[in-house]
Structure 1
Amino acid sequence: MKKKLVVLTGAGISAESGIKTFRDSDGLWERHNVQDVATPGGWYKNPALVLDFYNQRRRQLKEVVPNAAHYILAELESEFNVHIITQNVDDLHERAGSTQVLHLHGELLKVRSTRNPDYILKWTEDLNFGDFDENQNQLRPHIVWFGEEVPALEEAVSITETADYFAVIGTSLQVYPAAGLIDFTKVTTPLFYIDPKPIKIPNLRNQLQVIPEMASKGVEIMKNKLLHKIP
Structure 2
Amino acid sequence: MKLISRYLFELTLILNTLTIVCSCSHNKNIKNPDLTNSNDSVTISRPYSGEPRNVTFLPYWVANAQFAGYYVAKEKGIYKKYGININIIPNVPFVTSTDLIKEGKVDFAALWLVNAVELKAKGVDIVNITQPSSRSSAMLITKKKSGINTLQDMNGKRAGIWTGFELQPKALFNKYNLDVEVVPIGSSNNLFLMDGVEIVIANWFDEYHSIINSGYDPDELNVFFFSDYGLNFLEDGIYCLS
TM-score higher than 0.5 = no
Higher normalized helix content (fraction of residues): 2
Q: Which is higher, the Rg of structure 1 or of structure 2?
A: 2
Per the normalisation by structure 1, the TM-score is 0.30
